[in-house]
Amino acid sequence: MARSRVPILIMGVVLWCCLTTPAKAEYMKYKDPKQPIPVRIQDLLDRMTLEEKIGQMVQIEREVASAEVMKEYFIGSVLSGGGSVPAPQASAETWINMVNDFQRGSLSTRLGIPMIYGIDSVHGNNNVYKATIFPHNIGLGASRDPELVKKIGAATALETRATGIPYAFAPCIAVCRDPRWGRCYESYSEDPQIVQDMTDIIPGLQGGIPTDSPKGVPFVAGKNNVVACSKHYVGDGGTTKGIDENNTVIDWQGLLSIHMPAYYTSIMKGVSTVMISYSSWNEIKMHTNRELITGFLKNTLGFKGFVISDWEGLDRITYPPHANYSYSIQAGIHAGIDMIMVPYNYKEFIDGLTFHVKNNVIPMSRIDDAVRRILRVKFVVGLFENPLADNSLVDQLGSQEHRELAREAVRKSLVLLKNGQSLNQPLLPLPKKTSKILVAGSHADDLGYQCGGWTMEWQGFNGNNRTIGTTILAAIKNTVDPSTNVVYKENPNAEFVKSNNFSYAIVVVGEHPYAETDGDSMNLTIADPGPTTIRNVCGAMKCVVIIISGRPVVIEPYLASIDALVAAWLPGTEGQGVADVVFGDYGFTGKLPRTWFKTVDQLPMNVGDPHYDPLYPFGFGITTEPTTRQSDDNPFLSISSYFN
C-alpha cells in the first residue's frame, strides 16, 4: 500500500506544477503588426462571434456612449454629431480624455478590437473651440487651387488628431447643380472637373498614397493623418429644385459624367470610407441601391474601404422615417452598407440585424464583407498599434501656421464681380489712408455669420463669443492707416450716411448660417436688413459690397447702385484675408465656381445649358494686382477680367 502512494504523489506534484505555471500566451496573428493586413483581418474575423461582428457595424453618438456600452455591445465606432461636444469650450485634452475613455471600454473586450471615433471636420475641426475654421468648399472651389486644398486637408487632419480623433467625415464631393440646395456651400463647384481636382484634399487628410498601392485599397499615412470619407454617394447635388434629400432625375450617362467622376478619383487616391446620400436616384433611395453600392462602387470601381450610412440613414429609407425599421435594416445592409450611423437606438439595430442573420434573411457572407472592410480601415489607420490618443498634437489646434493658411485660402477664394461704374474708374483696391470710412452691414462684425453652418453647432451660430477668430470689421481696423477713422454702424439710414462725409463705405451683408434641409431656399435672398443697408449706403456714396453667402444670391436689383461687388462666400475665422485683398496687399484672383443667376426663375442653370443667360457666368472673376498705395492721391490699378 505504501509503495502505491509514491506514483500518486509524483502525479500530484506534476499536476500542481502544471496548474501554477503561467500558460504561454496564445500567438494571435491579428495582433502582430509584422503580419500582412489581409492575414490579420482573416485571423481576427475567424475568432469573432456574430455578436462581435454586428457590434463592429454600429456607430453611435457620443451622448449615448460609455466605456460600459462599448464593452457590452462591442460597438465599432462613435461619432460627434454637429455641435456634440464633451463640454462647452472643451479643450483638446478634454476631447482626448473622452475619446480614450470610450476606447478603453473597447480594448477591455475579449478580442480588444479598438473603436474608431468620427467627426464632421468639413472646414477644419469645426466642432471644436479655438480650431481654425477654413472657408467652406464653395470658396475653395473659387480658388481653383488643388495644392492649397491639399494643405488644408493636412492642417485639418492635424487639428482633428489634436483632439484624439482619427476619422473625418470629409470631403463632400457633391456637384451642386442648383443653388437652392441647402448644402450647396459644401460643394466645390457645379463643374465636375473642379470637384474632381479638389479631391486632392484626400491625400492632405490621409497622406499621399504610395505609387505601388493597389487600386481601391484605403490608405492612411500615420498618426498625423485621418481616415477620410467621400460623400454623399451619389447624386446628392442634383436633386429636383435643389430640395435636400430629394430625388435626382438623371440617366445613367448623366450620373456617370456629372456626379460620379470625383468618386473615381477619390478611390484612386486611397479614400478609406464612402458615405451614402439620403437622396434617391430616379426614385430609388441610395441607402437601398445595391446596384450602385455593391455592384458599381465595390465591384466595378474596386473600392475596398467601408461604406457608411448617413445619420439615421436607414430610418429615412421609409416615410415617415423609422416606419418599418426591420425592413430598413434588411434593405440597407443588403445594399452593401457596412457601418450604420445609428446613432441613438443601437440596441434596436443590433437586435434587428441579429434576427435577420439568424433567420437567413441576410447571409453571413454580407456580415463578413462589412466587418472585413471595417477592420481593414482600422488596421490601415494603425488603431491596433496605437489605440489611445496622447497630447502630442494639442498645440496644433488653432495654430498660427494653420490660421495663416486659412487666411491665404480666404484671399484666394474672393471673387471680384464688379469694380467701378466703368472699367477705367475702378474702386478697388481701397486706400488705407483717408479721413473717415463707414463699415456697415449685419455680417461685418459677426464671426458666426462669417463661418456659416457646421461651425460649433450643426446649424452654425451668430455673434463673436463661440470661438476664436477675426471678423471683417476687426480686419479692416487692423489694415487701414492708424489715422483713418473707421465708423461702424450695422444698418445706418440714408441721412446718417450723407451727413458724415465718409470717403467710402464697405457694406458686408449676406445669408444667416444654415445646414442641410434648413438651408433649402426657393428665393435665395440676402437676409434682412441687408437690402435696406445696401440701398441706404450705396444710394448715397461710393461703396463696396461684400457678400457672405454659401451660394449666389439675388443681387441684380441693387447692382446699379453698387460700385464694387465681392463674393466672399463663407470665409471662416480668418477675416483678415478679406481685408488683405480689398485694400490691395494681394490681388483678386478667384473665379466663380458656379453660375451667378439673374433671377431664381432661371434655376436650375449651369454652364453649357441651352437657356444659359447668367448675371455673371461660371468662371468669371475680375483680377487685380497688389499695390502699396496708401492714400487717395495714388492712381487706381488697371484691371482685367477673364474666364476659366
Q: What is the pLDDT of residues 569-587, one digit of tens each?
A: 999 999 999 999 999 999 9
Match 471662416 to its residue by C-alpha cell. 572
Residue pLDDT, tens place only, 316-370: 999 999 999 999 999 999 999 999 999 999 999 999 999 999 999 999 999 999 9
pLDDT over threshold 60, residue 604: yes
Q: Is the pLDDT of residue 7 over 90?
A: no
pTM equals: 0.94
The verdict on 310 and 435 lying in the same domain is no
Separation in Å, CA 266 to CA 7, 172, 200, 203, 233 = 71, 11, 8, 9, 12
**Shared-domain flag, residues 205 and 340:** yes
Strand partners, 80: 119
Q: Give 507's strand partners.
A: 440, 545
What band does 25 get if pLDDT is binned at 50, 70 and 90? Answer: confident
Distances (CA, A) of 238 to 230, 235, 520, 598: 16, 5, 13, 20
Pairing of strands 273-276, 229-233: parallel
What domain count does the chain have? 2
For Cα atoms 18, 21, 25, give the angle at the middle one, nearest 5 degrees: 105
- Asked if residue 22 has pLDDT above 90, the reply is no
Would residue 364 count as lying in a domain? yes
Whether 316 and 446 share a structural domain: no
pLDDT confidence band for 26 (50 / 70 / 90): confident
d(CA 11, CA 73): 44
Mean per-residue pLDDT, 224-253: 98
**Each residue of 345-365: b (16+ CB within 10 Å) or e?**
bbeebbebbbebbeeeebeee
Confidence (pLDDT) at 225 = 98
Q: Output the average pLDDT for the chain.
A: 94
Q: Quick check: 254 pLDDT over 70?
A: yes
Q: For 258-277, what is each residue's pLDDT tens digit?
A: 999 999 999 999 999 999 99
Q: Is the pLDDT of residue 634 over 90?
A: no
pLDDT tens figures, 358-387: 999 999 999 999 999 999 999 999 999 999
Judgement on whether residues 80 and 201 belong to the same structural domain of the protein:
yes
Note whether residue 277 is domain-resident: yes
Catalytic residues: 310, 516
Report the percentage of the chain scoring pLDDT > 90: 93
At a CB cut-off of 8 Å and minimum separation 6, what does 517 contact? 182, 244, 245
Q: Pull the grid cell for residue 356.
A: 435577420
The answer to whether residues 494 and 530 belong to one domain is yes
Residue type, 536: N
Could you tell me if 541 and 483 lie in one domain? yes
Q: Is residue 112 domain-shared with residue 218, that is, in the same domain?
A: yes
Domain that holds residue 301: 56-119+166-388
338 plus 443 within the same structural domain: no
pLDDT of residue 154 exceeding 60, the answer is yes
